[in-house]
Amino acid sequence: MRSAKYLKFVAFAVFAVMVLVAAVPFWLNRSVNVLLAQARAELLAQQRLDAILASVRDAETAQRGFVITGNDTFLEPYERTRRMLPSALHDAKEKARTDAERTTVWRISRLVDLKLAELEETILLRRRAGFEATERVVSSLRGKQYMDELRQLVAAEDARGKARRDALRADLLARSGRSFTVSVAATACNILALGVLLLVVMRMLRERRAIAAQLETQAGQLAEAVALTSRRNRELKLVAELLRAVEAVPAVVDAGPVIARFMPKLLPGVAGTLFLLRDDDDNMLDRQAQWGRPSDQPWAIDIDACWGLRHGARYKTAGYGDPACAHYREPSDDAAARLCIPLVTHDELVGMVHLEGLTAGSMQEEQERLAVTVAEQLALALGNARLRESLRRQSVLDPLTGLFNRRHFDAALKRELARARRKNVPVSLVLVDIDHFKDVNDGFGHAVGDAVLRTIAQQLRLGIREGDIACRYGGEEMVLLLPECTAADAGARAEAIRVALAAITPNAEGEGPERITASFGVAAYPVHAQDAEALFWAADKALYRAKQHGRNRVVTGV
């Protein structure tokens, strides 16, 4: 009787441990889903505020273009912003989750209203009173103060959002560690309980041997559950490390080596190839990385070359009887399966993972499940990385010409002047203005004018050194910043560019002027000016003299 009671107690202990081990993965999965949902919500809130700030910047850029040129074409981004911002602000207010976030959104909304009112006032003043009166209003820096405060609010909210996401990641790793500890402790307790149970069973009568066999079966199931839990915990930890590493890369193309380093740990013995979508072609994917011992894969494939990409879902081939993708250069044998998994986030394709050598049998389903889970998380991380990279490019590049924009030029000029003062070296500035560009737009249309601007921008890039900076300052006016270059050398370089411009066809894609020329104004530090503003105006005066003397010439400041 005493042994029976002891046996019941030990059996109860084993059952409790099994329940604990079985509950760990469910608890961990629920916790992970909650944390991921919170992280996604934080990221979406950040993206909404960044989009509002980008729209206001676009409107401000459009206003500046109109103030400088008086051309209503520049106001298209401004009008688009006025139409889109109310709904974006309303959406941000509706989806704010905390009082602090609602307060920040309301402050941003107020600043946006003030900024748009200031932009509208400036545009009306430009139309009524001309450029000089508008310049005095713009010089009051009221609009700049609105933008600075708006940027500070968005940046502060971005920083708080990043801190909250970092806290969520840390919480996720901590919970994973605790789950692993609980699993190990439960396993140890279970082994101890089983040992005691076996000693009791050995002293019991033969009638109890059936009970012992049943308990052994339960022990085997428990061991499998523990092994599965340990494996899932390891997988979750590796996936979290992979996503953290992908988020840290500066560009999407740099994620290839990171992914190639982690995938063999997640899927041992499985080879693979990573393809990423090209930035300039929605139908072509480039091979970025490989791991294991993959078959020979092409450097680039189009969407029609892969059944998975065609249908937007994973596609598996297990032998000669299955239709093969066009990017297979070697036939698949009957034992090893291949799997193509498109990387899709927010209904947008970012790439594709091709896996080879999946284990036959029941392990293949487990490998496929893990591969799909990793691919879903990778798609989200790569999509976020591509978005961050796109925002960085948009902040410094002119979208039409590909040259740096005025914002980048202002910062670069101050930086190069400071470096020139430290090293006691010259810095030259070359202002470039396209001759009679208004006639091109009026005579051939803005599409041809844009093509001419792109051609001239390409010539400027070809005519400067690697360390020089070419910017589109506004309209048809461009500027070259030449570090460690004297005025004489800058004039010679400008002359070479002038000659090259006059000799090319401005619009090789179709109709347009047969020839186009440009005027150049050159000034250098410290010969013509000592600070950034004076240096720019010295170059501008030289450019004005070039226009006065008949255009299509290079004039150096005096």
Q: Would you say the C-alpha torsion 455, 460, 466, 472 has a positive or negative sign?
A: negative
Q: Is the peptide bond before 331 cis (omega within 30 degrees of 0)?
A: no
Q: Give the separation between CA 319 and CA 365, rounded to whole angstroms.
A: 16
Q: Please list the residues that pair with 556 across neighbouring strands.
A: 522
Active site residue 533: no
Q: Please, what's the largest Cα pairwise distance for the chain?
A: 118
Q: Give the separation between CA 516 and CA 450, rounded to whole angstroms.
A: 13
The 3-class SS string of 47-86 reads: HHHHHHHHHHHHHHHHHHHHHHHCCHHHHHHHHHHHHHHH
123 and 78 Cβ atoms separated by less than 8 Å: yes
First to last CA, the chain: 113
112 and 153 Cβ atoms separated by less than 8 Å: no
The angle, 0 to 180 degrees and rounded to 10, between the axes of the packed helices 142-202 and 99-129 is: 150
Nearest to 428 by CA among 413, 418, 408: 413
Helix or strand or coil: residue 430? strand
Q: Which amino acid is at 220?
A: G
The angle, 0 to 180 degrees and rounded to 10, between the axes of the packed helices 76-94 and 2-69 is: 150
Helix or strand or coil: residue 470? strand
For residues 429-457, b (16+ Cβ closer than 10 Å) or e, as one string? bbbbbbbebeebbeebeeebbebbbbbbb
Q: Give the separation between CA 111 and CA 117, rounded to whole angstroms.
A: 10
> Which tokens sit at 103?
């307060």
Q: Would you say the C-alpha torsion 77, 78, 82, 87 has a positive or negative sign?
A: positive
Q: Would you say the C-alpha torsion 397, 533, 75, 432 has a positive or negative sign?
A: negative
422 burial type by CB count under 10 A (0-12 exposed, 13-18 middle, 19+ buried): exposed
- Angle (nearest 5°) at CA 114 between 146 and 158: 50
| Secondary element (H or E) of residue 37 | helix 2-69
Q: Give the separation between CA 248 and CA 266, rounded to whole angstroms.
A: 20
Number of C-beta neighbours around residue 382 at 10 A: 23
Q: Please list the residues that pair with 521 across neighbouring strands.
A: 431, 555
Which of 476, 477, 509, 533 is labelled catalytic? 476
In 467-517 the beta strands, taken as DSSP E runs, fall at 469-474, 477-483
Residues marked active site are found at 476
